[in-house]
Structure 1
């Protein structure tokens, strides 16, 4: 083994020694979240709703800032409208997590439908400026509008599917992270012997 390989191995061993537990802890947390979502979906929903509210709020603020920064450009006004809707929806979700789950799903559906329609309008309005990329916004807006419509029409099904999907996803990712953390620990022990 050359001097460079030895040094790189030492650096890798030091890094792994300091960080192998990070994916392990993340994985354990995700396993707990997944179990909570599957075992007590309605209780866990308030926490999930708050996180979704924070996400909607952040997305809305970014959209408003982009719309204001792009003042005078095509679609800037629509971005501000979309952002304002996102901010209002996010604040509502954060401040009212105890509202019924179906109402929240319907609210998310309305926000998705409106946001999708706004995205379609922005894409159509800007197609002359960006002929090779406007269709992406059109497709994304159409899919978001369809998802919003589904949430409005079938809130119970959407709620169950979302909660179970999040729970299963958290369990799978958590298990993968725990396994990764243990592998890193094993590698660190092997590197430490070199």
Structure 2
């Protein structure tokens, strides 16, 4: 990962201070995925509650990251939009407790596609800023593929697809944890380089 400056003139490696933002999102995604996979008899209401909680927390972290400068300026708008939409999706799931399985399936699919597209755009913006990190792009591509699969799947209901939802959440969370790790390492390298230069 190259050490460059973002649009505000700050060293890109300073974003390593916020490595915990994608780490929290990744941990929440993995927790949601594990619960969906190991709880095969999960009820629709429970799935709605779990998805709502995950979407709200993940969306809030994305918004925080956008406004705190965790990412280059060119990518923040997309991340903020995806975060707001994530929070909205979570609130819809909670406000509509009687949601049908098919409606929940469509909601999750739409959420995945929107968030995935936003992260892909953000990844290319980061690349233009000089960052060669691919983990953000990988998480976005995974989200889009998952959303498209849900849209294309026969309308058998979200409960029959809990394993797919869980598997995606685990893979998506793992990619975010990898991104967090690489951000943290980049931050450490940047701090070490700054200290050495000062000496």
- Please say if residues 58 and 83 of structure 2, whose CA atoms lie closer than 8 Å, have aligned partners that are also in contact: yes
Question: What secondary structure sits across from 2:156 in the alignment?
Answer: helix
Normalization by structure 2: what TM-score? 0.57
Q: Quick one: distance in 2 between partners of 1:105 and 1:80?
A: 24
Q: Quick one: distance in 2 between partners of 1:165 and 1:79?
A: 22
Cα deviation, residue 121, structure 1: 0.5
Equivalence for 1:83: 83
More helix by share: 1
1:31-42 paired onto structure 2 within 5 Å: 34=39, 37-38=40-41, 41=42
Cα deviation, residue 95, structure 1: 1.2
Q: Quick one: distance in 2 between partners of 1:162 and 1:78?
A: 28
- Please say if residues 117 and 141 of structure 1, whose CA atoms lie closer than 8 Å, have aligned partners that are also in contact: yes
User: Higher mean Cα deviation, 95-104 or 150-159?
Assistant: 150-159
- Residues 164 and 147 from structure 1, CA distance in 2 versus in 1: closer, same or farther, beyond 3 angstroms? closer
- Please say if residues 61 and 83 of structure 1, whose CA atoms lie closer than 8 Å, have aligned partners that are also in contact: yes
1:1-194 paired onto structure 2 within 5 Å: 34=39, 37-38=40-41, 41=42, 44-70=43-69, 73-133=73-133, 135-154=134-153, 155-156=155-156, 159-162=159-162
Question: What secondary structure sits across from 1:98 in the alignment?
Answer: coil
Q: Which runs of 5+ in 2 are unaligned?
A: 1-34, 167-199
Q: Quick one: distance in 1 between partners of 2:148 and 2:137?
A: 16
Question: What secondary structure sits across from 1:74 in the alignment?
Answer: helix
Q: Which runs of 5+ in 1 are unaligned?
A: 1-29, 167-194
User: Higher mean Cα deviation, 109-118 or 61-70?
Assistant: 61-70
- Residues 137 and 72 from structure 1, CA distance in 2 versus in 1: closer, same or farther, beyond 3 angstroms? closer
Question: What secondary structure sits across from 1:127 in the alignment?
Answer: helix
- Residues 157 and 92 from structure 1, CA distance in 2 versus in 1: closer, same or farther, beyond 3 angstroms? closer
- Please say if residues 49 and 97 of structure 1, whose CA atoms lie closer than 8 Å, have aligned partners that are also in contact: yes
Question: What secondary structure sits across from 1:132 in the alignment?
Answer: coil
